[in-house]
Amino acid sequence: SREVLEEAIRSFSGTVITVSHDRYFMDQLCSKVIWLENKQLTTYEGNYSYALTKRQ
């Protein structure tokens, strides 16, 4: 289930690269968002909601 996956990722001590359309999932688990647009990468130190507010 989703909760089991979230807990497994939280307890993992390494880096996880995630591609997802689930905003809630990304908000709960991401501490850094790397946004790819027009062949350029922009890094945001925070969750998905933080990245969205900084992009506006």
Percent of the chain scored above 90 by pLDDT?
A: 93
Q: Could you tell me the two tokens for 45? A: 């130190």
Q: Domain ranges in the chain?
A: 2-55
- Is the predicted pLDDT of residue 56 greater than 90, yes or no? no
Tell me, what's the pLDDT at 7?
A: 94
22-50: b (≥16 Cβ within 10 Å) or e? eeebbeebbeebeeeeeeeeeebeebbeb
Q: Are 18 and 29 in contact (CB under 8 A)?
A: yes
Neighbours of 51 (CB within 10 A): 20
Tell me the mean pLDDT in the region 5-15: 94
Over residues 12-21, the mean pLDDT reads 93
Q: Is the pLDDT of residue 1 over 90?
A: no
Q: What is the pLDDT of residue 2?
A: 87
Within 1-56, residue ranges assigned H as helices are 2-11, 23-29, 48-55
